Amino acid sequence: MGLPLEGVRVIDVSSTLMGPYSTMLLAQWGAEVVKVEPPGGDVVRKIGDVRGTSMGPAFLNVNRGKRSVLLDLKQDRGRDVLDRLVAGTDIVVHNLRPSAAERLNLSADAVLRTNPRAVYCAFRGFGAGGPYENRPAYDDVIQAASGMAAVQGGADGAAYVRTAAADKIVGLMGAAAVLAALRGRDATGEGQVVEVPMLETMTGFMLLEQQGGWVFDPPAGPWGVRPHGVTAPAAVPDEGRVSGRDDLHG
């Protein structure tokens, strides 16, 4: 058997971690992913780039399995090439703010005019139509705004999770949403539009158990009580340590 997404083509106009992580998963599942980079390349190329090759480890990990093309989308020639790529693809992914997407001819309307069967996925910091829709956002901003940092720190104050948790969780959600939209496109023959806002996605992720008694109206108890009663980081008990590893899944 081949990989499940063989024959599916993705144009990836995203940068940093969230969008590229999502499209990396699609590539691992068999899709052909073409990453569109601006002059100078994705900024993540420089992170940890000890050899000075613009091929840092984070960039390599989150973009493995992709092809790459450099396009200056601020120029007519670059946008023309992108239009030709979009016309022959199944999925278009970007993480531009709505105003920037409009300027670069990457709004949902523009993409679906070029390719009415495309699945269009826009990763954003904040949901379109809201008061912050054009504000930029990074992982640490969303960890704080969604409540993740508050839960992680507990009574000692807010603390960030020591990984780009928001970027990766939202990237996973985006990959799932794109696959659902692709199924809808194949069933109807019509293009689909997917929006994946970081704040709203992470807030829903955190409220799954942290909403606690506030699920009910009126509230039936406090918020922030997890099913097993742990609301802050805790040391792993000795019986959970196996061969020097913290492992509580056994």
Catalytic residue positions, numbered: 167
Alpha helices for the chain (secondary structure H):
18-28, 57-62, 76-87, 98-103, 108-114, 139-146, 148-153, 165-188, 198-210
Instruction: For tokens 């794109």, name the residue.
Output: 178
Q: Which tokens go with 35?
A: 């990453």
Beta bridge mates, 9: 32
Amino acid at 72: D
Residue 43's SS3 state is helix
Write down the number of H helices and E strands in the chain: 9, 8
Please name which of 152, 91, 84, 95 lies closest in space to residue 122, comparing C-alpha atoms. Answer: 95
Q: Which residue, among 128, 90, 137, has the nearest Cα to 107 in the 3D structure?
A: 128
Q: What are phi and psi of 91, to 5 degrees?
A: -135, 135
Specify whether the CB–CB gap between 9 and 30 falls below 8 A.
no
User: d(Cα 178, Cα 194) in Å, to the nearest integer?
Assistant: 7
